[in-house]
Amino acid sequence: EILGPCKIVYNPDNPLDCGARLWIETFSDIHFVGGSFPATR
């Protein structure tokens, strides 16, 4: 769960180094099963 605004990025012609062509960008806190990631700036 993303607790705030986010942007879904689809970039099939320029994937990330890990190979991802679709990802989510956010500066908001993220809660997931088993814990959370606080937002950092």
Asked whether residue 11 is domain-assigned, the answer is: yes
Asked whether residue 39 is domain-assigned, the answer is: no
CB 36 within 8 A of CB 3: no
What's residue 41's pLDDT? 59
| pTM, rounded to two decimals | 0.66
* Other C-beta atoms lying within 10 Å of the C-beta of residue 31: 13
Tens-level pLDDT at each residue, the chain (41 residues): 888 999 999 999 999 999 999 999 999 988 887 877 777 75
Asked whether residue 41 is domain-assigned, the answer is: no
The domain containing residue 24 runs over which residues? Answer: 7-34
What is the spatial distance between Cα 8 and Cα 23, in angstroms, rounded to a whole number?
A: 6
CA terminus-to-terminus distance, the chain: 19
The structural domain count of the chain equals 1
Asked whether residue 2 is domain-assigned, the answer is: no
Asked whether residue 40 is domain-assigned, the answer is: no
